[in-house]
Chains A and B, each alone.
Chain A
Amino acid sequence: MNKEVTVYEPNQRLKIGFFETWVIMFKNIVKSKELIIQLFKRDFFMSYKKSYLGLAWILISPLVGIVSWVFLNSAGILQPGDTPIPFPAYVLLGSSIWGLFMGFYGSAGGTLGAGAGFINQVKYPHEALLIKQTAQHIANFLITFVVNIIVLLLFGVTPSLGILLFPLTAIPLFFLGAGLGLIVSVLSVVASDLTNVINIIMGFVFYAIPIVYQIDKIENPLLQTVVQINPLTYLVTGARDIIVEGTIHYPERYLLVAAISFVFFMLSWRLFYVSEDKVIERMI
């Protein structure tokens, strides 16, 4: 009988090197392909099973969102600036990308929570939950995003061809969002206060990104500095500008922040791996 021997020891995961952790986790994800698909099906389709309109809700919510932007536009509340596209469309795109980031953060943050029903009973790689959560978010986002673009087209706003590169600009957003979310996912098991604190901070961070205003229109020097050192400024506006104009305004800073996001994600991924061991027994 040549069966694989599994060993469980204290602090076992801490003894594994960084690089090996990534390899293990990556392999686990590949191995859990079917689990991810099954869980995705369960959580994505089943959430609509009890409603009459079913999956139509995925379309309804963004449409309603757009109506409010159109209203604000015609009411002239949002001052049109010298943006390449009408300002409301500009804001709509920006906040939709912010939503993409927050979704990455939120779905990673729910990684352990998503398995709460059986994480304490069955052994399986929890990395799979991160992928399932993210896939679910991307599916929701894509639908909303496509609806947004169609509405913009109807209003005569044409995005640039750079929109084809948009998926690439979503990757650093994922790294930063998921990196943050994974840490929160583990820590919130033992300190649920943390989730609240970060949510409050995120409320402020939104305004420290030039989404509802333009970066060169800031007069307060302090706010200007804050916006300039905020890594999300570059990730969010970069993704938006590539859609609107087909270029990224601060390419060096963008690439630097993207690289840092990647490293941050890898570190956080490792941290998730070594510390989830310590919190699962406390998931009560």
Chain B
Amino acid sequence: MDKDVVIKIDNVSKKFTRSIKRSMFYGSTDIFKSMFGIKPDTTKLRKGEFWSLNDVSFELKQGEGLAIIGHNGSGKSTLLRLINGIFPPDEGSIRVKGKIGALIAVGAGFHPHMTGRENIYLSGTILGMSRNEIKNIFDEIIDFADIGDFIDAPVSTYSSGMSIRLGFSIAIHSRPDILLADEVLAVGDLAFALKCHKKISDFRKNGGTLILVSHSMNQVRNACEHALWLDKGMIKESGPVNEVCDKFENFMFKKDSDDKSSSSVGTHITNDSNTIITRVEFFNDKDEQTTAFDSGSFFKARIFYKCNRSVKSPIFTFGIANVENVSVVASYSNYTLDLSDTEISGEGYIEVIIPNLYLRAGNYRCTTTLAEGDVETVLDWHEKNFLFTINANKKLTHGIAQIPVEWKI
């Protein structure tokens, strides 16, 4: 193992069984074999088994940050548990240098009747700290958790946020060399989330190695410089975090569009079949129909309706969401256009114009509704049903939008 390498995963595979009965049976036979010193053959799949991880290899140097991304069930948590040594791989080998801290088990072993203070000793010991180590960082743990007088109350009286704060605080203070974090950064309120980010970035600055499992591409891009994309237990892509995340987001987008017809990816709810939105078309500054735009360019959406009866004081809504389902724009026609004395019927369209669409590169889905009288009386609703893309560009920004920013001194 190279000097700087702290995690080395070589051709690791792990199989699981979906059926509990079968899983119990295989467990029994494996134990039976072990009893007589026979090594169970772990390399072949038995009936009902599947590879949760299949031939995964990578290495991580000290101080690096790796994000593991992928759909639910792609093997991310299994991989973390293998690295943590909870259970062994079925093939390959895992080498880990240094002490591992897992933010998988926030609040592991907490006893509800013990006070926060007592639980710090308990949980700290479970996470592998000695009594003296805990004593030394005791105040830091309490400070960081910031739960006030509750520290002397039984944990069962805590709100869920409070026990997560305390659990997280213990785990992050256990001084690991390698930190495994599974979706934990999404917990707590904003102030606490910021504190956690700060703590993790301090940890990285001091030479700590991070493996982060997350569904939030934004978080992943911020916290890590490498990414590993797992798909059905196999590595689909690995490399610099932005490249892998872009590919992942594109894939998600394409998958959505392949699953359904190309123009419709979301859901369509019709409350009145006489009044429907038939389609949405997008146009660029040259009035050409397109679905690909440059960031900051002119954007026009044309919403086509077909009403077999007349609709009095119609209200159209239009919204754009990114691949993480964050709503980036939402607008109602009655914000700028008074249609309260208007009636529409037959076929026609209404246009939404965004002079400069300052979105970052990626894929977007549009939601549009037609309502009558007030916005709650929805006649027709297309939820994230129309797609467009912002072309990749070299501009470096974080956040969900790409609004022009200048710096001066």
Contact surface of A with B, Cβ cutoff 8 Å: 1, 3-12, 14, 34-35, 38-39, 41-42, 46, 49-50, 117-124, 186-187, 189-191, 271, 274-275, 277-282, 284
In the bound complex, residues from chain A placing their C-beta under 8 Å from that of B99 are 3
The one of A7, A120, A123, A281 that contacts B95, using a Cβ cutoff of 8 Å: A7
Q: Mark B3-39, 1 if CB is under 8 A from A, else 0.
A: 1001000000000100010011101101100110101
Complex alpha-carbon distance, A280 and B126, angstroms: 17
The one of B34, B35, B92, B122 that contacts A42, using a Cβ cutoff of 8 Å: B122
Interface 9-residue window, one of B108-116, B264-272, B352-360, B364-372: B108-116
In the bound complex, residues from chain A placing their C-beta under 8 Å from that of B88 are 8-12, 277
Contact surface of B with A, Cβ cutoff 8 Å: 1, 3, 6, 16, 20, 23-25, 27-28, 30-31, 34-35, 37, 39-40, 42, 62, 81-82, 84-100, 102, 104-105, 108-109, 111, 113-114, 121-122, 125-128, 130-131, 177
Q: Which of A119, A121, A280 has the largest number of chain B CB atoms within 10 A?
A: A121
In the bound complex, residues from chain B placing their C-beta under 8 Å from that of A9 are 88-89, 92-94
The one of A49, A122, A271 that contacts B126, using a Cβ cutoff of 8 Å: A122
Q: Closest CB-CB distance, B269 to chain A, in whole Å? A: 38
Q: Are B82 and A34 in contact (CB under 8 A)?
A: no
The residue of chain B having its C-beta at the shortest distance from the C-beta of A194 within the complex is B28
The one of B27, B40, B105, B128 that contacts A121, using a Cβ cutoff of 8 Å: B105
Given the known inter-chain contacts A10-B90, A35-B126, please indicate yes or no for A118 contacting B109, CB distance below 8 A.
yes
In the bound complex, residues from chain B placing their C-beta under 8 Å from that of A8 are 82, 85, 88-89, 93-94, 96
Q: Are B93 and A34 in contact (CB under 8 A)?
A: no
The residue of chain B having its C-beta at the shortest distance from the C-beta of A35 within the complex is B125
Q: Are B108 and A122 in contact (CB under 8 A)?
A: yes
Complex alpha-carbon distance, A256 and B81, angstroms: 45
Q: Closest CB-CB distance, B284 to chain A, in whole Å? A: 52
Given the known inter-chain contacts A7-B94, A8-B88, A123-B84, please indicate yes or no for A279 contacting B105, CB distance below 8 A.
no
Q: Are A122 and B91 in contact (CB under 8 A)?
A: no
Q: Are B31 and A190 in contact (CB under 8 A)?
A: yes
The residue of chain B having its C-beta at the shortest distance from the C-beta of A117 within the complex is B109
Q: Are A187 and B28 in contact (CB under 8 A)?
A: yes
The one of A46, A186, A275, A280 that contacts B114, using a Cβ cutoff of 8 Å: A46
Q: Closest CB-CB distance, A249 to chain B, in whole Å? A: 35
Q: Closest CB-CB distance, B127 to chain A, in whole Å? A: 6
Q: Are A7 and B93 in contact (CB under 8 A)?
A: yes
